[in-house]
Amino acid sequence: MNAPDKFYARDAHVDEAAVQPLPNSRKIYAQGSRADIRVPMREIAQSDTPASSLSTEGAEKNPSIVVYDTSGPYTDPDASIDVRSGLPALRARWI
């Protein structure tokens, strides 16, 4: 029986696949009630609706959908992730 590998904090990292962009979407932020509050949202692109199954002419354009994004900082391309440092204290100024 093999003993489990020990976890060393110095070796901790975020897997590259965890921070890859989600397909057909982008992370955006809505302004909160204060200047230092940003609400994470995800803008999801939709495919066009074909006019008919026989023709691609006259397809209906569908608008993007914006939804609340609970994925955290891992899906923000501008975020710097260091699992050894923890999350930044974004709410410290107003709690």
Domain membership of residue 33 (yes or no) is yes
Per-residue pLDDT, 55: 62
The answer to whether 40 and 25 have CB atoms below 8 angstroms apart is: no
Q: Which domain holds residue 30?
A: 19-48+61-71
- Write out pLDDT tens, residues 34-87: 888 899 999 999 998 887 766 657 788 999 999 999 988 888 888 887 877 888
pLDDT at residue number 2: 61
Residue 36 lies in a domain: yes
Q: Is 41 inside a domain boundary?
A: yes
Q: How many domains does the chain have?
A: 1
65 burial class (0-12, 13-18, 19+ CB within 10 angstroms)? exposed
Structural domain contains residue 83: no
Residue 27 clears pLDDT 80, i.e. is over it? yes
Which pTM does this prediction carry? 0.69
